[in-house]
């Protein structure tokens, strides 16, 4: 939703396309860019019915423009995924499905999930990972969830990358690892701006990269 992670999606989609086709090739794509301030305000006010309508309207405009599949370039707004899919006739590539498939290829059973408070606390995301992929999903305790949520909105969505926040995230991840997490899902598309695989010893599942790749792979089917 923030342009910070949208730019990363655009970059990755074109990189994966170039890997497939080489040379001067790039991706044919349509982007519906939101004013994130409006989205964040409605999220904070728990206005999910309004958010559903906004997302459905955007998806329909992309379909009318010729899109053959939809990517919601955010984990949190997959809370509206079922409503969107019901309102359009083209496939919606679900970020949790792409991530779950990637986790299963690594043979892991238990993962830690970082994201906004909506993604960590509600069932639309972690429930999908559990029910469809048989995964045990561990989330941080409430104080740590507050830290993660606030860093996402107050820093990462504004393009601020802090070493202090990186260390906080690494400490939170270490706690999850002690609780049995075999890998960590970066369940917010902005977290990849802060945490990389090189920062951790256990596998990191960068949902931005995984989702972008899944979109490109669908396009080449």
Question: Chain-wide mean pLDDT for the chain?
Answer: 96
| Residue 81: predicted pLDDT | 97
- Residue spans per domain, the chain: 3-94+210-219, 95-206
pLDDT tens for each residue of 187-205 = 998 999 999 999 999 999 9
DSSP 29: -
Domains 3-94+210-219 and 95-206 share a fold: yes
Q: pLDDT band at residue 2, thresholds of 50, 70 and 90?
A: confident
Q: Which pLDDT band, with edges at 50, 70 and 90, does 45 fall under? A: very high
| Calpha distance 140→114 (Å, rounded) | 8
Both tokens assigned to 75: 């984990």
3-state secondary structure of 68: coil
Per-residue pLDDT band at 221 (split at 50, 70, 90): confident
Give the residue-averaged pLDDT of 48-70: 97
Q: Which residues are catalytic?
A: 74, 188
C-alpha torsion 135→118→162→154, nearest 10: 170
- The CATH number of 95-206 is 3.40.50.1860
Distance CA 119, CA 126 (A): 7
Per-residue pLDDT tens over the stretch 102-120: 999 999 999 999 999 999 9
Residue 169: helix, strand or coil by DSSP?
Answer: helix
E strand or H helix that includes residue 110: strand 110-114
The fold of 3-94+210-219 is Rossmann fold (3.40.50)
Can you tell me the mean pLDDT for 56-75? 97
Rounded mean pLDDT, 139-143 = 98
Name the pLDDT band for 5 (thresholds 50, 70, 90).
Answer: confident
């Amino acid at each position: 939703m923030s342009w910070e992670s949208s730019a990363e999606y655009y970059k990755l989609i074109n990189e994966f396309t170039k890997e497939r086709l080489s040379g001067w090739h790039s991706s044919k794509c349509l982007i519906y860019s939101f004013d994130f301030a409006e989205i964040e305000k409605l999220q904070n006010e728990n206005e999910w019915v309004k958010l559903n309508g906004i997302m459905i309207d955007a998806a329909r405009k992309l379909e009318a423009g010729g899109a053959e599949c939809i990517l919601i370039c955010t984990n949190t707004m997959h809370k509206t995924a079922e409503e969107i899919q019901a309102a359009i006739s083209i496939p919606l590539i679900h970020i949790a499905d792409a991530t779950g498939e990637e986790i299963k290829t690594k043979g892991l059973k238990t993962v830690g999930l970082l994201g906004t408070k909506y993604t960590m606390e509600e069932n639309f995301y972690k429930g999908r990972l559990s029910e469809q992929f048989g995964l045990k999903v561990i989330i941080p305790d409430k104080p740590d969830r507050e830290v993660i949520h606030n860093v996402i909105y107050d820093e990462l969505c504004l393009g601020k990358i802090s070493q202090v926040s990186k260390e906080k995230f690494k400490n939170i991840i270490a706690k999850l690892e002690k609780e049995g997490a075999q890998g960590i899902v970066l369940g917010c598309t902005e977290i990849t701006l802060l945490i990389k695989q090189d920062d951790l010893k256990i596998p990191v599942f960068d949902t931005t990269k995984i989702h972008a790749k899944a979109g490109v792979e669908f396009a080449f089917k």
